Structure 1
């Protein structure tokens, strides 16, 4: 079937409603409400699901303000979140305390390092694990992300009388709908969360009937108190902190036309005999991203101003601006696989074992989630993006820096949602400011900044005692920062982040220490969450030295700093310092099984199927291992992937999709991606990692981008006709030790090397025909690609700012191609 014809000819009929096939790639649809244990909605005659509200309700968001709607017939449950509402932590402390830093750590660092050098493995009181916790870990509270409020809208409708029920979320427009019939009357609800006007909007209508609603606002925070007056509910409250409670306000304003709106003593609003009801919800906390106070927003004034402006505009204007905003971003990048719609609801689609339809929908939905939970906010998306119902969520719903927060942003640039990256930048700049105290107090490093495993919105950069884990994270966070520049080539942005990059590098320049063989390594450290020599020392034997992921990321960081310094024409002496250090870094090593070693010692166990595969960071999201350039390291990465196996948690499955795409095995990447979409997705397509983690959604979408387009390699030889000869190589084999690969010092001319755009590097055979529009490539390019019969048929590369690139397609490397801003280059199969 022709996929272009598909978008205009097919219509799915479902009860009283229809969904055009053009929307099949964007619309999540259900024939029953979400499961909500707090209410009486159990679904129309269905057995209760083992999954609850957070796994079955549908998400809305504008990047800061979020909501989920249940679609309950008798009671609609709107869960409201504000991404700045964190509790159980400190704010407004002195800068050192606010950073969480262990102030005595610097004098004890050598004590800790000595037990590393002595090989004190295990968990005894004198072990690396125990002393790192004792001397370096913070005693300050991290806190946790918390829900904001709940808005409950009661209709008085009996679920048993309902027919033709339908609940949908259109990821292209950001509109949620609920439609059902009672007798001859059709009841309709529409929901959206506006970024242009910063409000949640809900509208209720009915055909040939009146609406009688009760609207109530509540909060899980003990001091919240709703008050109803006129057409408004005003809820003010406090979220508990260890120091300086968070203040917040929410306003719910109702427009019921000529119908009566009656405030009730319990703070609710009663609406009787309305033809149409529109509700506006605005809410803010007093949080401001200012270290160390993190306070100062005039949240009450902002709340009143926002709700008044939205009410003045009215529903139609709010909806139009919202749809224009969301669809404009969603339409930048469109994946169109060639499939025949199955005519199933989304929850049914998940249970079928996988399909192109589900895979297409999952990608587009992940892009929707991205712009919904990270845009225009002072902090980035967290473990659950934006949506959380629990006062004590799993893993604090925090910022894990051993992959999770970084994975949240892998797909932003490739999938053409660069605006979503700004919250990550703002947060990292705060970390650099706070982390300077951690570097000095905990590690005795006077220059630069340090970041540990867990972060919050209050500048926590310390080594957290959680999980007895000691690690550094500045180098991985900076990888995201520089990669954003690689995609957009914005020198003003590079100026902005350069101090953060330099500060991270400065810390490691001083923190690196020689190991027994004289090479420089990071320690204390670990290879995230994985243990070694388990039979000898137990499953908590995790603390280590010179873990491969640290060393790979250091080469990445130093190389990026050298390039940024050259582009900005500054810090020549510091550039030379980094160039002198790179050859001294511990090499990457191939072990006894042919695997890429996870640690500098050959401790890998071929039966180890741990979900973290951090020692392949140089493969992805890094750029230094490639089937086309580093053959031996590529083979070692293959062995590692075979050892680790296929099944894992959602986020790990997303990462494995990216790994296999970078290994140019499209069928294996697709196998993993299908497992992610069919076996690691809840009914609402949230990533399956109880209760859920959003990084799996974003990692999977990043994997789709990697299957279709890769642009991480660079051409340093314009005259070379093969990619192996042209591409920059970051590691070289040590002639004296053939299984060791030492880092290479980049020349300053690397900054001028064009990126190589590799078209369809890992196209799976399960996707024989299709089209993708608007993928982004490093160097500042947008790319459209079409394929048929498993072969590339056409591609167009557009320059967003002017630049040079090389194309690698069908095994052929082009010459340098230079485009001015707005110009495009077309590749056609007929012109090969």
Structure 2
């Protein structure tokens, strides 16, 4: 049951619906009885007016801003920076706002029948299918909705066991003064055309295919089916985002000449290729009650230790459904949005949210679905080069804090958007893809060129002070401010802790990549010289890791961001073995932030869970996973920010936290069950990935590892952090493997693609 979410009533609102998607297309199925509503999205469908935003040359302001910072005139420096680089200061031309992600409309239908009984609404995560069943008028009616990955369309099947079914089918979109809607109606086709004033054009096309019965027109936007034994609806969406007519995009996906059974079976197989790579099971009873009742009981303290497992599986499913065939990465709401004016334009925020969306991709064995992120990053490079040159007079690339489908590198407003760490943080994901997969071709052709662009920016942007220390000027801790810096929402400073950590992260990866590829020896020397002369991270009077370069008074001690803890997770600049004092200081910082009321969004709770997993405190990580479910989720487990605003990053961050609780692989050392929560006493996971090209299977009992199986994508040594445990390693044939033991670690050599088994001696 931990791959199924099910309910005994339709969704009361959109956020309680069940999501499906191909990556390009998305649908939210509400499961109505009197009328079904499937809310539709297309990944490129934006208003489409703002793609021509350009940067002006503002680099002349940089010396004066730096002078003010050197004089510790933080308020004046912040105000000047806002004038220089803020979107409202004239930097980007009109309009200054980013583009807004839009709903395509709804596919709706109502069937001819009386009252329904025995209703069930279900999302099968393994089969990627929404099923709605009920009894009415002596018939057992089944409605199934899938997002077909091969045909790249949404398919609805209605069937009543060969009994005749009749009903009305239509396309509709909420009234929008910015958008003109018209319809074309064929003998078995409905086409809804949309055109935003001065912006994007789109169309939604629904084709009906029936067995038995007849189809007739029933209005400008409606078809009627009478007496059909089976009804199939094929839905597609097209836009002119890439220069073609919207209907042409739809026509590239014609109605497949396949039976329903074949369509369904092949889609399950295609989905399973990725979703099925990893399986996690917990030895505990699963309540056989509807998911909303499980959540309600969980909030009241029920001992349902497998509900977080369902949350985990749902997170992996969402990554599949929002990325599979997509050309764009998952945005703030994945690919699902019903609002004409969505929160934060449903855009891409690059100071945690977009990155968190892909935190579970590599270790969660969904690495193929990170490609949309990489493609988007590469698309931004020309814009980023232009921005780096015009805004700061630097080589390399600079990305803003937030952007949209066009990938413009243009700030909206200084307080939020001009921050120099966004591209560095995204570069981490390309390095991860290499670390986990060991694909040197990817490193050479995609990762290293991008990382090198970011490194070039820092080579020019960093300022060497009188003590020979490279400072980040101007700098900020994203979206946060300190007392004495003025009333702007963000205060600029010199070398925030996060910015220093990001420089460490990207330059160390640049140097490592260059050494692997045997290129750019002169660059390696420069990068390593910078790394040796960066500002040290500092510990404050309360034993906490400082967020800024001085112990400023926090304006918001409860702030939702914990940017200065990047070096703990997702970075690795702070760890218990190499920087134990900073590790403890980071833990203290998190405790202080939470004590002040922090962690008050879904994604912030998810990041907190990841941090506690990295701290090795599984029960505390578990507490925050619980909070995600109890306080920040709908009844369909979609993540919330605020009371009812859906934002998907918390789903992905929570999934990543559970992976981090089960396996860590920093510095390519495997650490089994580093933060296993007490309540998950016994269980098994197969297919979890680790840095260094490893894939790991593990089984544990009574909180202790029983055995692990490890494979590697290449011949290499394997290092396992074993503590005081006594381990035996055998190869696939059961032969003992020669091991070296040193400082609580086991080392042995592995042959590519061969399974090695590690067992713990009692």
Indicate whether the TM-score tops 0.5. Answer: yes
For 1:155 and 1:237, locate their aligned partners in 2 and report how far apart those are by CA, in whole Å. 27
Q: Is the 8 A contact 1:525 1:546 kept in 2?
A: yes
Q: Does 1:30 find its partner at 2:17?
A: no
User: 1:215 & 1:152 partners in 2: Cα distance?
Assistant: 6
Alpha-carbon distance between aligned partners in 2 of 1:705 and 1:157, rounded to the nearest angstrom: 47
Give the whole-Å Cα distance in 1 for the aligned partners of 2:599 and 2:498: 22
What's the secondary structure of 1:774's corresponding residue? Answer: strand
Distance 2:516 2:123 in 1: 44
> Post-superposition shift, 1:810?
4.7
* Aligned counterpart, 1:300: 247
- Cα deviation for residue 110 of structure 1 reads 1.9
Structure 1 residue ranges without an equivalent (≥5):
1-23, 36-51, 288-294, 714-754
SS of residue in 2 equivalent to 1:249: strand
The alpha-carbon distance between structure 1 residues 229 and 764, as it changes in their structure 2 partners (threshold 3 A), is same
Per the TM alignment, residue 700 of structure 1 is displaced from its structure 2 partner at its CA by 0.4
Shift of 1:226: 2.1
Partner SS for 2:103: coil
For residues 768-783 of structure 1, what are the structure 2 equivalents within 5 Å? Answer: 768-783=681-696
1:605 to partner: Cα distance:
4.5
Counterpart of 2:546 in structure 1 is 597
Aligned equivalent of 2:104, options 148, 168, 175:
148
1:649 equivalenced with 2:601 (yes/no): yes
C-alpha deviation, 1:232, in angstroms: 1.2
Tell me which residue corresponds to 1:505: 455
Tell me how far apart the structure 1 counterparts of residues 375 and 81 of structure 2 sit (CA, whole Å): 34
Corresponding residue for 2:33? 73
Aligned to 1:313, the other structure's residue is in SS state coil
Partner of 2:748: 817
Aligned position for 1:83: 43
> What is the CA deviation profile of residues 708-763 of structure 1, one whole-angstrom value per residue up to 9, with x for unaligned ones?
000012xxxxxxxxxxxxxxxxxxxxxxxxxxxxxxxxxxxxxxxxx101100111
Asked if 1:496 corresponds to 2:445, the answer is yes
Q: CA separation in 2, counterparts of 1:549 and 1:682?
A: 32
Written as runs of structure 1 = structure 2, the 5 A alignment for 1:408-487 is: 408-445=357-394, 447-465=395-413, 467-472=415-420, 473-487=422-436
SS at match of 2:752: coil
Q: Which residue of 2 aligns with 1:670?
A: 622
State the match for 1:348 in structure 2: 293
CA change 1:123–1:73 in 2 (3 A) is farther
- Give 2:528's aligned residue: 579
Shift of 1:135: 6.0
**What's the CA shift for 1:328?**
2.8
TM-score, scaled to structure 1: 0.84
Give SS of 2:337's match: coil
Indicate if the aligned counterparts of 1:124 and 1:130 stay in contact, CA closer than 8 A.
Answer: no
Q: Is the 8 A contact 2:360 2:653 kept in 1?
A: yes
Q: Deviations over 1:221-248 (max 9, x none)?
A: 622322111111122322345xxx3232
- Quick check: 1:658 aligned with 2:625? no
Cα deviation, residue 514, structure 1: 3.6
* CA–CA distance in structure 2, aligned partners of residues 115 and 691 of structure 1: 40
The residue that corresponds to 1:227 in the other structure is: 184
Q: 1:59 aligns with which of 4, 7, 19?
A: 19
> Which among 621, 634, 649 is matched to residue 682 of structure 1?
634
Q: Is the 8 A contact 1:410 1:698 kept in 2?
A: yes
Residues 432, 449 of structure 1: 8 Å contact kept: yes
Distance, in Å, in 1 between the alignment partners of 2:417 and 2:125 is 38
Counterpart residue number, 2:736: none
Say if 1:607 and 1:643, in contact at 8 Å, map to a contact too: no
The Cα offsets for residues 459-505 of structure 1, whole Å up to 9 and x where unpaired, read as 21122217554212111010111111100111111112221110111
Query: Structure 1 residues 201, 273: CA separation in 2 closer, same or farther (over 3 Å shift)?
Result: same
Cα offsets for 1:71-105 (capped at 9, x unmatched): 000111011111111225334x4xxx4xx32x131
What pairs up with 1:243-258 in 2 under 5 angstroms?
245-258=199-212
Name the SS of the counterpart of 1:651 in structure 2.
Answer: helix
Q: Structure 1 pair 511/148, CA: closer, same or farther in 2 (3 Å)? A: same
Bigger mean CA deviation after superposition, 811-820 or 757-766: 811-820
Aligned pairs for 1:272-283 within 5 A: 272-283=226-237
Q: How far off its partner does 1:130 sit? A: 5.3
Alignment deviations for residues 577-611 of structure 1 (CA, whole Å, 9 cap, x no partner) = 11121122211111111111100011254981211
TM-score, reference length from structure 2: 0.92
Query: Who is 2:713 aligned against?
Result: 800
Q: Deviations over 1:682-729 (max 9, x none)?
A: 11100021411110000000000000000012xxxxxxxxxxxxxxxx
Structure 1 residue matching 2:325: 3-state secondary structure: coil
The answer on 1:638 being equivalent to 2:594 is: no
User: Are 1:763 and 2:676 an aligned pair?
Assistant: yes
Residues 706-725 of structure 1: matches in 2 within 5 Å? 706-713=660-667
Conserved? CA contact 1:108–1:135, under 8 Å: no
> What's 1:263 paired with?
217
Q: Which residue of 2 aligns with 1:10?
A: none
Question: For 1:248 and 1:802, how far apart are their aligned partners in 2?
Answer: 51
* Contact 1:533/1:541, CA 8 A, preserved across alignment: no
Shift of 1:393: 0.3
Cα deviation, residue 125, structure 1: 8.9
Deviation string, structure 1 residues 359-396 (Cα, Å, up to 9, x no partner): 01000010000010012322100000000011210011
Partners of 2:723 and 2:34 lie apart in 1 by 58
| Match of residue 175 from structure 1 | 129
Counterpart in the other structure of 2:196: 239
Alpha-carbon distance in 1 for matches of 2:601, 2:466: 37
Partners of 1:710 and 1:761 within 8 A in 2 = yes
What is the rounded CA distance, in whole Å, between the counterparts of 2:599 and 2:527 in structure 1?
A: 39
Contact kept in structure 1, 2:416 and 2:490, CA below 8 Å: no
| 1:530 and 2:480 aligned | yes
Structure 2 residue aligned with 1:4: none
In the TM superposition, residue 314 of structure 1 has moved relative to its aligned partner by 3.1
Q: Secondary structure at the match of 2:134?
A: strand
Judged with a 3 Å threshold, the aligned counterparts in structure 2 of structure 1 residues 155 and 594 are, in CA distance, closer, same or farther, namely same
Aligned partner of residue 758 in structure 1, secondary structure = strand
Deviation by residue 1:312-369 (Cα, 9 ceiling, x = unmatched) = 1232221111101112322211111122122221112222226322101000010000
Aligned residues: 727
Alignment of 1:315 onto 2:269: no
Gaps of 5+ in 2: 726-743
User: Is the counterpart of residue 521 in structure 1 residue 471 in structure 2?
Assistant: yes
1:376 aligns with 2:325: yes
Q: CA deviation at 1:532?
A: 1.0
Q: Secondary structure at the match of 1:526?
A: coil
CA distance in 1, matches of 2:380, 2:482: 31
Deviations 1:619-643 (A, max 9, x none): 0001121223321111101110110
Alpha-carbon distance between aligned partners in 1 of 2:724 and 2:244, rounded to the nearest angstrom: 56
